[in-house]
């Protein structure tokens, strides 16, 4: 019985590896075509995550607004506002991850301290819009992060892309909560 199950798992594992390889290969081809200016077929993906915090919108906004906040809250090893760009609408923020990859976003709409909308400026083949909306709630506020992206129309890829975005976003929202808790005044 166990040997039969083991024998069944080998082809399933191999099929899973082959499937992931094919997805990566198709995504690489999609991005190569986009880099050459060829519009490959894409699919629009939307997702949203939110978290409530026991503080006002200004406290959350002041924690997340600067580019540098991506270091303690996100996956950036280094982050900064691109020199020469204005504060607010038109501002560009760059993020360098530990693996050396770089991304830059541009603020296209903003109403401090309640919401901002950003677009990916680089890499240019990543067509993503993110919205950060802070709404008052009973006992504090709620931060809603939403994303709309055009991604390769490759079977299986949208699910993987959304899963990774949600994982990254949940980690970001949780780190905000941890930072707010560590900054809270201590009584006793």
If asked whether residues 1 and 61 sit together in one domain, one would say: no
- Do residues 153 and 125 both lie within one domain? yes
pLDDT digit string (tens) for 22-78?
Answer: 556 666 665 565 565 556 678 899 999 999 999 999 999 999 999 999 999 888 899
CA 62 to chain centre: 19
Task: Tell me: do 50 and 143 sit in the same domain.
Answer: yes
Indicate if 25 and 112 belong to the same structural domain. no
Match 């930072």 to its residue by tokens.
179
Same domain, yes or no: 100 and 126:
yes
Size of the chain, expressed as the number of residues it contains: 188
Is 188 part of a structural domain of the chain? no
Mean pLDDT, rounded, for 100-124: 92
Q: What is the pTM of this model?
A: 0.77
The total of structural domains in the chain comes to: 2
161 and 84 housed in the same domain:
yes
Structural domain harbouring 32? 1-40
Residue 27 token pair: 């995504």
Q: What percent of the chain shows pLDDT beyond 70?
A: 74
Name the more confident of 42 and 88.
Answer: 88
Q: Supply the CATH number for residue 146's domain.
A: 3.30.530.20
What mean pLDDT comes out for the span 157-181? 93
> Residues 85, 100: one domain?
yes
Task: Reply yes or no on whether the pLDDT at 98 is more than 60.
Answer: yes
Note whether 25 and 90 are same-domain residues. Answer: no
Greater confidence, 97 or 31? 97
Q: What is the overall mean pLDDT for the chain? A: 82
Task: Please state which of the ranges 21-25, 89-93, 101-105 shows the lowest mean pLDDT.
Answer: 21-25
Residue 176 has pLDDT above 70, yes or no: yes
Does residue 104 contact residue 96 with C-beta atoms inside 8 Å? Answer: no
**71 and 27 both lie in a single domain:** no
pLDDT value at residue 156: 85
**Largest Cα span, the chain:** 67
């Amino acid at each position: 019985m166990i040997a039969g199950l083991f024998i069944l798992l080998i082809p399933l594992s191999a099929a899973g590896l082959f499937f992931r390889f094919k997805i990566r290969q198709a995504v690489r081809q999609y991005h190569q075509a986009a880099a050459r200016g060829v519009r490959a077929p894409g699919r629009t993906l939307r997702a949203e995550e939110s978290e409530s915090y026991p503080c006002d919108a200004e406290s959350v906004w002041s924690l997340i607004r600067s580019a540098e906040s991506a270091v303690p809250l996100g996956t950036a090893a280094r982050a900064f506002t691109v020199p020469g760009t204005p504060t607010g609408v038109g501002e560009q923020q760059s993020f360098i991850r530990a693996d050396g990859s770089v991304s830059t976003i541009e603020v296209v709409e903003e109403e401090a301290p309640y919401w901002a909308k950003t677009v990916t400026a680089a890499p240019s083949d990543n067509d993503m819009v993110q919205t950060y909306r802070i709404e008052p709630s009973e006992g504090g506020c709620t931060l809603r992060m939403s994303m709309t992206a055009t991604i390769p129309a490759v079977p299986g890829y949208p699910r993987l892309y959304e899963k990774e975005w949600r994982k990254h976003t949940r980690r970001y929202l949780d780190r905000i909560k941890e930072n707010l808790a560590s900054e809270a005044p201590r009584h006793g």
